[in-house]
Amino acid sequence: MQSSRPFDAGRRDFVTQSTFALMTAGLGFGAGALARSAEPDAGSPNHSAGSRSLNAGADSNAAAAGGSPGIDPRGVDSFLNAVAAGSFELHSLIVARHGQIAASGWYAPYRAQAPHLLYSLSKSFTSTAVGFAVTEGKLHLTDRVVDFFPSQVPPTISAKLAALNIQHLLTMSVGMPKDATPTVTHEHDWVKTFLAQPIEFQPGSVFLYNSAATYMLSAIVQKVTGQQVNQYLRPRLFAHLEIPEMSWQVCPLGINTGGWGLSATTETLMKFGQFYLQQGRWNGVQLLPKSWIADATRSHIQQTPAADKNPLTDDWYQGYGYQIWRCRHNAFRGDGAFGQFCIVLPEQDAVVAMTSQTMDMQGLLNLVWEHLLPAMSDNAPTAPDEWQHLRQRLAGLALPVPSNIAPAGNAPASLPSPSPSPAGGAHAGLISPARATLAGQAAAVYRIEPNALGVTQLSISARPDNVRLVFGVGTKTHTIVSGLGSWRDGYTELPGTPPQWEELIGVDPSPRHPAKVAVAGAWKDAQTFEMQWRYYETPHFDIVTVHFTERHIEVSFQNSLTLMSTALHTERRPVLEGVASS
């Protein structure tokens, strides 16, 4: 199969280099002083450098190498240097060779035990579920899609719709003129809506990235097995790999979204890649046939490069398998928006797993080829000092916390005070929240004007090491505690959190609430306190700014999707305005 149209630029606009610098502009990201978060969730170490077995039943060549993972630690170090020097926000990294983890680290407040939203990397898991269903005889690649949903097909079935089969869904060769996802996800019945979309080209002839096609695969697996994909994979794959329970978003009818919405730890991604590297075998058991793995990871259709792309240097034009991208260097990968990667390098017997938030996904892949790939050698020096240096560096990885930028001596010692009313008035005696809190008095309370979020009240108090905000929404309160110079872990159910890419994938009908968040803030001037709310189970964050003027307060929200590009997502939350209450 060949592509007869340019590659679907709409799906991959976020990898262009024209807007990725917005990620870091004015937000204080990049090299500089780093501060650690609170202790990570209990569990496995938050970093490692050296050799740690995946318990995958890998070939014995790792033992033959004297226990060495076959990685030069200087290559990992240079990769981290290049990430820090570029416009990338890496959240985690695991590098493994010969079935052993050579290096792993998480940038605080991200942590090893926290699952990370994978976006389209979810597709490779859905494809794997199809593989199991085919192996068990529940499906055939040539099965027609319309035959699974007789009550949801349109009144007139076109010849092209009638020809659409499972393999076409797997290879993104449905034949639709555009990605159906934004249309499908804004309706109640996604299957019916997908089947109603026009098919312009003969299925199998044109590559066009269509996340709704993967949703259809999920719907078909659930139709023939009676289980959601997440449930179906648990005894067949996840239990064998000792992967913890994972959440996967569902459509309004309770079907896993398939093409996005899975959350998994970085170590889960590593194990998933190792499973594919070992051709479907784990701990001596052939879970999926080698033939399926080989078929899923080879190129079935070729993308036609856009005019401004070079297929020799661009990893989005190397061919496409069953929801798996071919890469340069004879590698293959699953990937997700904003830099979620599971990269398998068969020639190097290696896997690289990363989570991040970046617009320049190709740039991040380039760093893998430039630094990590050359470091993969069975002749790599043991270099104890270099490994010790790398261990220490991985242990100290952290995203920068906001820092005070008010001129020296001008940063406020406390939150600004509401202006007192005339003597004897209702507000007489109000003092700053910081001083009131330290003195054991009540926090400052503000009445909030009517707004779309439903916030009616906000109270603020401060201590030397944190600022506490309590939002009143109806009968509920939502508390955010911001560290000063460090991350403070918490939870939030405040409406509008965490950010969602709803323009493409709709609003999650089953959001994970309360959302886990780590918060740090700093004074930008004597009247402005700015926070980062890091939703560390997603790639995203909010910038929340509190501005004080006399007795009034304003609270504004800006999400990281909008900060990257307004074309991705528009910030819809209103500015909250309030006045000090009596």
Name the residue among 121, 101, 97 with its Cα closest to residue 346.
97
Tens of pLDDT along 158-181? 999 999 999 999 999 999 999 999
Q: Is the pLDDT of residue 26 over 50?
A: no
**Averaged over 405-430, what is the pLDDT?**
44
Distance in angstroms (rounded) separating the CA atoms of residues 301 and 319: 6
Name the DSSP letter for residue 314.
Answer: -
Residues 115, 212: Cα–Cα separation, whole Å? 24
Is 0.75 topped by the overall pTM?
yes
**SS3 at position 363:** helix
Query: pLDDT by residue (tens digit) across 479-522?
Result: 999 999 999 999 999 998 988 887 777 767 666 678 999 999 99
Can you name the residues that pair with 549 across neighbouring β-strands?
552
User: Quick check: is 197 in a domain?
Assistant: no
Q: What span, in angstroms and rounded, lies between the C-alpha atoms of 317 and 315?
A: 5
What is d(CA 55, CA 285) in angstroms, rounded to the nearest whole number?
A: 13
At 211 the pLDDT is 97
The answer to the question of residue 516 being in a domain is yes
| Cβ within 8 Å of residue 547, ≥6 positions away | 527, 528, 553, 554, 555, 556
User: Is the per-residue pLDDT at 32 higher than 70?
Assistant: no
How far apart, in whole angstroms, are the C-alpha atoms of residue 249 and residue 509? Answer: 8
**pLDDT at residue 251 in the model:** 95
Decide: residue 557, CB within 10 A, 0-12 exposed, 13-18 middle, 19+ buried.
buried
**What's residue 210's pLDDT?**
97
Distance, CA of 556 to CA of 544 (rounded, Å): 6
In a domain, 494, yes or no: yes
Domain membership of residue 449 (yes or no) is: yes
Q: Is 456 within a domain? A: yes
Residue 480: its pLDDT value, please? 97
Buried b (16+ CB within 10 A) or exposed e, 451-487: bebebbebbbbbeeebbbbbbbbeeeebebbbbbebb
What pLDDT does residue 57 have? Answer: 57
Report the relative pairing of strands 340-345 and 332-336 from DSSP bridges: antiparallel
Q: Which residue has the higher pLDDT, 348 or 20?
A: 348
According to DSSP H, which parts of 244-356 are helical? Answer: 266-277, 290-297
In a domain, 293, yes or no: no
Which carries the bigger pLDDT value, residue 210 or residue 523? 210
| Integer angstrom CA distances of residue 4 from 98, 118, 137, 180, 317 | 40, 30, 33, 19, 13
| CB-CB neighbours of 205 under 10 Å | 15
Most confident of 206-210, 382-386, 424-428: 206-210
Please, what is the Cα angle at 432 between 427 and 433, to 5 degrees? 105
Helix (H) or strand (E) holding 375, with range, is helix 373-375
DSSP string, 418-444: PPPPSTTSTTTT---HHHHHHTT-PPE
Say what percent of the chain tops pLDDT 90: 71
Residue 403: name the closest of 27, 78, 127 by CA.
Answer: 27
The larger pLDDT score, comparing residue 425 to residue 349, is at: 349
pLDDT at 39: 36
Host domain of residue 546: 433-580
Q: Are 309 and 275 a contacting pair, CB within 8 Å?
A: no
Q: How far is CA 397 from CA 92, 326, 385, 421, in A?
A: 9, 30, 19, 49
Task: Give the pLDDT confidence score for residue 110 in this predicted structure.
Answer: 98
Q: Would you say 372 and 75 are in contact if contact means Cβ atoms under 8 Å apart? A: yes
Rounded Cα gap, residues 223 and 129, in angstroms: 13
Query: pLDDT band for position 56 (50/70/90)?
Result: low
Least confident of 49-63, 209-223, 289-303, 559-573: 49-63
Q: Helices marked H in 377-432 — which ranges?
A: 384-395
CATH number at 517 reads 2.40.128.20
- What is the average pLDDT across 119-139? 98
> Which one, of 452, 508, 447, lies nearest residue 472 by Cα?
447
Residue 552 domain-assigned (yes or no): yes
Distance CA 270, CA 268 (A): 5
Q: Are strands 476-484 and 515-525 parallel, antiparallel or unpaired?
A: parallel
C-alpha 499/C-alpha 486 separation (Å) is 22
pLDDT digits 0-9 by tens, 261-289: 999 999 999 999 999 999 999 999 999 99
Number of domains in the chain: 1
The answer to the question of residue 545 being in a domain is yes
Instruction: Flag whether pLDDT at 418 surpasses 50.
Output: no
Q: What local confidence, expressed as pLDDT, does residue 436 receive?
A: 45
